[in-house]
Amino acid sequence: MVDPNAFFRETSHPLNANLDLFRAVRQCRQALKRYMPAEGLAIIQLEPSLKSARPIIWDHDGGIHSDLIAKSVISIPVDTRTQWKKSPLPDARIINRPEDDPVGYYFQEISGQDFSNLVVFLEKDGVRIAIAALITADRDRYTQRDLDLFSMLKEPFAKALDHYLLGQEIIKLQRTLDNTAVDTRGGIALEEIIGHSFGLKNVANLIEMVAPLDSPVLISGETGVGKELISGAIHKMSTRRDGPFICVNCGAIPETLVDSELFGHEKGAFTGAITRRKGRFERAQHGTIFLDEIGELKPDIQVKLLRVLENMEIERVGGSEPIRMDVRIVVATHRNLENMVKEGAFREDLLFRINVFPIVIPPLRARKGDIPALVDHFIQKKSRSLSIHPIPSLGGDAIDMLMDYNWPGNVRELENAVERELIVNRRGPLSFSTFHAVSLEPPKKAEEGRPSELLSLDDLLSAHIMRALDQTNGRISGPNGAAKILGVNPSTLRNKMIKLKIPFSRAQQKIRGK
Ligand SMILES: Nc1ncnc2c1ncn2[C@@H]1O[C@H](COP(=O)(O)OP(=O)(O)OP(=O)(O)O)[C@@H](O)[C@H]1O
């Protein structure tokens, strides 16, 4: 028999005794482990204006959801919110079958993992502001007794969170006064890229794979999707992180200067070359050079670049001695280089050289779930640089409106929209009403190349799952199964197939037909 008083004393003590919320939660979880399964403990703040939830703390043993509940805003989908409104969730609940819970099912879907959960809402002045969630792998791990005990921590969690949030307000204020902007010149940590565990999860996985190697990387994606940011993350995660990270926009350098800009020149090499000058390649020595808009390079420079890639040597303009290079090359383009090769505008041999490890960044309209986190990030960032305090709140419909828009200019356009809104409406609430007026023309660019008849999401999902099943001859699980291709748990895929009425017999027929 558990003595509730002893339980409360042991598990609430760390929350009352620690000013550092991270340490408090870690110690509390260790104490909880003596009474119930506790592989992870999260404190997640509710952000009604962003229609999202913000993980504040995620203490865990590794494994379960370890990268999902990363420190970024999680967008709550509309149907979850609707269901939530229809039948408000109780103050405390057990989730032993995530697929039956209006929030649990969503986490199960995006993580592809089964889990059990105890969830308690935390309140301030009678308003729900956050949840404390105890998480453990596999289903059916918690009992009503566990929930009754865990619910006793509602008050201590709420108080500890309140202190933490007050501390954060003070830090934000100090930052505004210091006007400290984040310096991304030396690259950026993967965790700072918004969406790294959601819409850019695949991209983040690729970055993790390739960053420690020295292979060239070709990043492609529409303009403003974050290509430069991604190249910065590759540098920061590479062994060259202490070396320079040099960015070159190949399209922005006048044609006549590209040569000397990239490779440098000797004194007297041409009129105006009054001193010897190092080019961008030399300045990137022992670091990374990021060649943006590589498709803009003229044929003669393409030849020189090919030689650099082949021999890892450069020659300054007017020089005769080759200089040995130790540089990692990352290139980016928003153009289709294969088409350019067909048209004779880009060298095929150069494409082969740079296309060793391609990373395609999806446009913002294909990862709308990242929008709340991006908006939040830009409001914080731009309020800092514009010295706006207090940081204005978002208007009621703002997020839904921003998520409905097609963003032909991608993340940069969203960033600019936030900045414009902060300038015209610095006291808030931020309604984006002027943006609405200028942007609701049909977003032509975003529609280009799309079929005129759009499928419903369910139809699209069915078609996609069936394509994967076709590829695997109907196999669902195992290393060659459809679940692996689709990056989900086999049980999640089976549940999805039941929901979408995709017959399992289809899978079996395929196997029998072989
Ligand atoms: N995932 C992200 N998280 C945070 N900021 C982002 C993200 N993606 C893009 N941004 C911001 O959006 C702006 C545009 O990003 P970036 O310059 O990396 O895009 P790009 O694809 O290189 O653009 P271009 O095609 O014009 O060269 C930058 O201010 C960048 O910091």
Are the beta carbons of 257 and 280 closer than 8 angstroms? no
Distance CA(511)–CA(514), nearest Å, equals: 5
Are the beta carbons of 68 and 57 closer than 8 angstroms? no
CA distances from 100 to 13, 94, 157 (A): 34, 11, 26
Nearest atom, ligand 1, residue 222 CA: 25
* Pairing state between β 358-360 and 328-333: unpaired
Nearest atom, ligand 1, residue 196 CA: 1
Ligand 1 pocket test, pick from 412, 414, 445 with the greatest ligand atom count within 8 Å of Cβ, gives 412
Nearest atom, ligand 1, residue 231 CA: 18
pLDDT tens string, the chain, 514 residues long: the values are 889 999 999 999 999 887 789 999 999 999 999 999 999 999 999 888 888 888 888 898 876 555 556 556 778 777 777 777 777 889 999 999 988 887 888 777 777 788 899 999 999 988 999 999 999 989 999 999 999 999 999 999 999 999 998 888 777 666 555 544 444 457 788 888 999 888 898 999 999 999 999 899 999 999 999 999 999 999 999 999 989 999 999 888 877 788 888 998 887 777 666 777 888 999 999 999 999 999 999 888 899 899 999 999 988 888 878 889 999 999 999 999 999 999 999 999 999 999 999 999 999 999 998 999 999 999 999 998 888 888 899 988 899 889 988 898 899 999 999 998 998 888 889 988 877 545 544 444 444 434 434 556 777 777 778 777 777 777 787 777 788 777 777 777 887 877 777 766 544 434 333 3
Distance 461 CA to ligand 1 centre (A): 29
Residue nearest to ligand 1 atom 8, measured at CA? 226
Question: Residue 311 has which token pair?
Answer: 């021999």
Nearest to 400 by CA among 94, 25, 97, 48: 48
Residue nearest to ligand 1 atom 12, measured at CA? 412
Distance CA(210)–CA(208), nearest Å, equals: 6
Question: Residue 509 has which token pair?
Answer: 């027929």
Nearest atom, ligand 1, residue 414 CA: 12
* 429 upstream amide cis, omega within 30 of 0: yes
Residue nearest to ligand 1 atom 23, measured at CA? 224
Domains recognised in the chain with CATH numbers: 4-170 (3.30.450.40), 190-360 (3.40.50.300), 365-447 (1.10.8.60), 457-513 (no CATH)
CA distances from 172 to 39, 89, 388, 395 (A): 32, 32, 11, 21
Distance 227 CA to ligand 1 centre (A): 6
Ligand 1 pocket test, pick from 184, 335, 411 with the greatest ligand atom count within 8 Å of Cβ, gives 411
Query: What would the 3-class secondary structure string for 44-82 be?
Result: EEEEHHHCEEEEEEEEECCCCCCCCCCCCCEECCHHHHH
Distance 338 CA to ligand 1 centre (A): 24
Distance 224 CA to ligand 1 centre (A): 5
The ipTM of this complex is 0.98
Distance 233 CA to ligand 1 centre (A): 12
- Angle in degrees, CA 431, 437, 438, rounded to 5: 115
| Ligand 1 site residues, Cβ closer than 6 angstroms | 193-195, 221, 223-229, 292, 334, 377, 411-412, 415
